[in-house]
Amino acid sequence: RKSLVSKVQELQGIDGVLSVKPLGTLGMAVVEVASEEVEERLMEELAEDTDVELVVPDTWVSLDQSSGFLSPKASLPTESQPVFSPTGNGNDGSAHFKLITSGTCADTDMVPIRSSALCEESAHQLGFGYLVAHSTWNSHRPEGCYILRMNNEVSLWLGLSERSIGKGAETTTPGRGRHPICKSSTFTYTTTTTTTTTTTTTLPSQNI
């Protein structure tokens, strides 16, 4: 098994790779590539490498929490947060979400989450704190929203590749797992936007 340092050096030498960001505590690297064509080529070369996430700048999106809107080419993921234990008690929104450690959402009569905002909300409802959902187009990843556990660390991801549809939990590597967060098929998620209108009235000068 290659070390993270040697893997990063190898990836940096590949034509079409713009940057490689090592995530030390996760033992993985996030690779920014120049185009979807480069991504496809790398996907074939890397096969089912569990230590690499691919990012295409023009399609990379992550929730901009300052505005609440999805923004293109957001910052690459930082190191993950310390792991939290789920604390959802079924008396709130957590009753609509479930973290699975094996199989797929369909196996539990639930559906994957494919919204960044809902992914973050569901993780919070399940007791994982406030995590930012980082998108990946790696087709070997679980479909939709999932928690990545790496020993004592956890991060939140959103699998958006059409080729990942139907894929569920990954638990083949000791100390590491990708566990989908599923939602009830009857659960709906809405956001409310409040607009404030200010009206200015100018009085005739003789009345002032």
- φ, ψ for residue 18 (rounded to 5)? -85, -40
Please report the pLDDT score of residue 186 as a whole number: 82
Closest Cα to residue 14, out of 32, 2, 28? 32
Residues of the chain with pLDDT under 50: 58-91, 191-208
Please report the pLDDT score of residue 65 as a whole number: 35
Please report the pLDDT score of residue 181 as a whole number: 96
Closest Cα to residue 35, out of 54, 22, 51? 54
**Alpha helices (H) along the chain:** 4-12, 36-46, 116-125
Count CB-CB contacts under 10 A for residue 195: 4
Please report the pLDDT score of residue 200 as a whole number: 45
Domains of the chain by residue range = 4-184
The mean predicted confidence, pLDDT, of the chain is 70
pLDDT tens for residues 49-96?
656 666 655 433 333 333 222 333 333 344 333 333 344 443 455 688
C-alpha to C-alpha distance for 206 and 204, rounded to whole angstroms: 6
